[in-house]
Each structure stands twice: as structure tokens, then as C-alpha cells.
């Protein structure tokens, strides 16, 4: 007589992870099947019904019921002590195939290390006209350098995944130009305080705090023919070809309190005069109010024309000094920005 099936226990967190694997469109089929085995076993179905529903034999169902029951207490500890990502990795390990002896690897550790080191180099160093490595490019370069006689792009991809390297991806980061940590901290605090103070200034002192930035190089494109409207059984068809009308620059204000975009400027250039005009037209939307503009260190944000325009708006008549000469430590200690009020 066949033995009784192992009892399957699951916590709420484990159930969520198993459902995520079972419903995944990127997980391996074997992981999806095994996650479903555990979920169906927990629901009380017997091995024969589970095997039919999942598409495996009864032996596989019994095997992973036993494996889950054996690993369950360890999974509880991992769930209590690690992140959700750590729990998912542990569950995937339980549902994965056990290591097999098989044939030894085709490539030596030294060759794998050299391939990974190659992936960390910029492609330009190899004379390739690309910005980021792809698996086929890496495989080809490894053969050209004599690291290996032959290797498939998929094998390169496996090595990259094991090393958690993603040469095809990148993200932006900001390099702080201020080398003095204390001064950098002070500037960060001033900017943060400006944002934190914005709601009170807006409510009590009729002061608008806005953040300004520019988007340059926006293509002004015009389709050479109008789009064809949607019809029964046919979606809208847009003209493929277009005519170029140069590029435009958008200068926008984000109101820190209301989230509104105030008086944006759209023009062909981003000059000193363009920025002065933008600030002037923004202030004109509420001339009775005070204004605080938070800007970056672009040169047009601290131009002579802007200083004169702000002084004229505020009725300042004293000597403003000379261009590129700092008036005092009090002035230079302020964050980059413009206040009008």
C-alpha cells in the first residue's frame, strides 16, 4: 500500500511567494509546476489529482511534497530573519533540482574570470562601436582575445547572471562637485529647509516656492500627412514620415506646494535672456506675492542680467558690485537660487 502523503504547511508570506512564482511569466516552467504542487497540496488535493492538474507524474508530486515538508522549519527561520527577497531565493532553492555530478565544466575558472573582467571593461577599449556589452558581442570578443576557442552567447549570459553583472544596463548618478563634506552638508540642509518651509510661507506669507529646470533638444516634428481615423476592424493609422522643424527648449516651474506647472516657456534657445524672461513672466502671474526659485548651478541661473532684473523688481538701488566678484561671505554662503519679494 502506498504511504500517506506528507502534510504541507504554509505561512501567509510563503503562500504569497509561491503564488508569485506560480503566476510568473519569466520563471522556469519547472519552478512554476513545483510551486503549484505545494499550493495544491496545501489546499488538500491528493497526489493523483495534483499530478493531472500540473502535468507531472505522481512521483514528482510526492518528491516535492516531501522536500517542502523537510525544509519548512528552515524556511520559517529565514522568513523571520531575512527579507522577502531572501525568502523567495530560499523557496526557489527548495523547488530547484539538486546539483548533479555530470561532466566537468568546459571552461576553467580562469577563463570565466577573464570573461567577467571583459564584461566590466567599456566596449570602446576593444574598438567596438557600442556603448554597452551584449552577450553575442562578449562571446565574440572573448574568442578574438583568445580567452576561449568557442563559447555561446547563452553561456556568457549564464556566467553574467551567476556573477550578478548586468553590462547592458546603466543608471544616472550625481557626482558632488563640493569636496568639503561640511560645506556640502550645509548646502544640502539649506535646500531641504527651503522645501520644508515652502508650505508655511505659501499659507502665511503669500510666498511661492518653485523649482526650475530646463529640458533641451526637444524635437519639433510634424507628420507630413494626417492620421487615418479608426474604423471597425482597423485601428488608427499614423503617418510614418515627418518633417523636422529643429529643436525646442522647455523651461518649467514646479510649484513645490501645489504641484502645478506655472508659466512654462517653450522656445528655440536657452540663453541668459531666455531665463530672465522666464523668471519675469513667472513673477507676473502673481506680482503681489513673494517668490523663491530653486535652481541648479547652470551659468544662466546666476547671470548679471538676472541680478539686475531681480534688483529692479525688488526696488533695490544700491551698488550691486561687479560681475564675477563676490560681495561678501554672507552672499556667497547662500544656496544657488533667486528670491524675489
- Regions of the chain where pLDDT drops below 70: 1-5, 99-105, 323-341
pLDDT of residue 336: 47
What ranges do the domains of the chain cover? 12-95, 109-162, 181-220+247-340
Burial class (CB in 10 A: 0-12, 13-18, 19+), 174: exposed
- Taking the domain 181-220+247-340, which CATH number applies? 3.30.420
- pLDDT at residue 4 in the model: 60
Q: Which three cell numbers stand for residue 305?
A: 542680467
**Per-residue confidence (pLDDT) for residue 100, from 0 to 100:** 67
On whether the CB atoms of residues 73 and 66 are closer than 8 A, the answer is: no
pLDDT for the residue 332: 34
CB neighbour class for 254 (10 Å; exposed up to 12, middle 13-18, buried from 19): middle
Determine the pLDDT at residue 333.
34
Residue 36 is predicted with a pLDDT of: 94
Contact 336, 302 (CB under 8 A): yes
Other beta carbons less than 10 A from residue 316's beta carbon = 12
What pLDDT, on the 0 to 100 scale, is given for residue 67?
A: 93
Instruction: For 26-84, write each residue's pLDDT tens digit.
Output: 888 999 999 999 999 999 999 999 999 999 999 999 999 999 999 999 999 999 988 88
Amino acid at each position: 500500500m502506498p504511504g500517506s502523503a506528507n502534510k504541507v504547511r504554509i505561512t501567509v508570506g510563503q503562500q504569497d511567494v509561491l503564488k508569485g512564482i506560480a503566476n510568473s511569466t519569466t520563471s522556469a516552467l519547472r519552478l512554476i509546476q513545483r510551486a503549484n504542487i505545494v499550493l495544491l497540496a496545501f489546499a488538500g488535493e491528493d497526489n493523483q489529482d495534483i499530478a493531472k492538474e500540473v502535468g507531472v507524474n505522481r512521483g514528482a508530486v510526492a518528491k516535492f511534497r516531501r522536500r517542502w515538508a523537510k525544509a519548512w522549519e528552515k524556511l520559517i527561520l529565514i522568513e523571520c530573519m531575512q527579507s522577502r527577497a531572501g525568502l523567495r531565493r530560499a523557496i526557489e532553492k527548495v523547488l530547484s533540482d539538486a546539483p548533479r555530478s555530470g561532466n566537468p565544466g568546459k571552461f576553467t575558472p580562469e577563463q570565466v574570470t577573464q570573461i567577467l573582467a571583459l564584461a566590466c571593461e567599456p566596449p570602446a577599449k576593444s574598438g567596438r562601436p557600442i556603448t554597452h556589452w551584449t552577450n553575442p558581442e562578449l562571446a565574440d570578443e572573448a574568442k578574438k582575445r583568445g580567452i576561449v576557442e568557442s563559447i555561446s552567447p547563452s553561456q556568457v549570459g549564464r556566467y553574467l547572471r551567476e556573477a550578478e553583472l548586468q553590462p547592458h544596463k546603466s543608471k544616472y548618478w550625481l557626482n558632488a562637485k563640493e569636496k568639503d563634506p561640511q560645506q556640502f552638508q550645509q548646502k544640502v540642509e539649506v535646500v531641504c529647509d527651503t522645501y520644508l518651509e515652502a508650505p508655511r510661507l505659501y499659507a502665511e506669507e503669500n510666498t511661492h516656492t518653485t523649482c526650475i529646470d530646463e529640458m533641451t533638444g526637444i524635437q519639433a516634428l510634424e507628420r507630413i500627412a494626417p492620421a487615418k481615423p479608426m474604423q471597425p476592424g482597423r485601428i488608427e493609422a499614423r503617418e510614418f514620415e515627418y518633417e523636422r522643424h529643429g529643436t525646442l527648449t522647455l523651461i518649467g516651474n514646479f510649484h513645490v506646494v501645489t504641484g502645478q506647472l506655472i508659466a512654462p516657456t517653450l522656445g528655440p534657445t536657452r540663453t541668459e535672456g531666455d531665463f530672465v524672461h522666464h523668471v519675469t513672466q513667472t513673477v507676473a502671474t502673481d506680482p503681489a506675492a513673494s517668490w523663491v526659485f530653486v535652481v541648479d548651478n547652470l551659468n544662466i541661473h546666476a547671470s548679471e542680467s538676472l541680478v539686475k532684473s531681480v534688483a529692479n523688481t525688488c526696488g533695490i538701488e544700491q551698488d550691486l558690485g561687479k560681475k564675477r566678484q563676490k560681495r561678501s561671505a554672507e552672499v556667497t554662503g547662500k544656496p544657488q537660487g533667486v528670491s524675489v519679494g
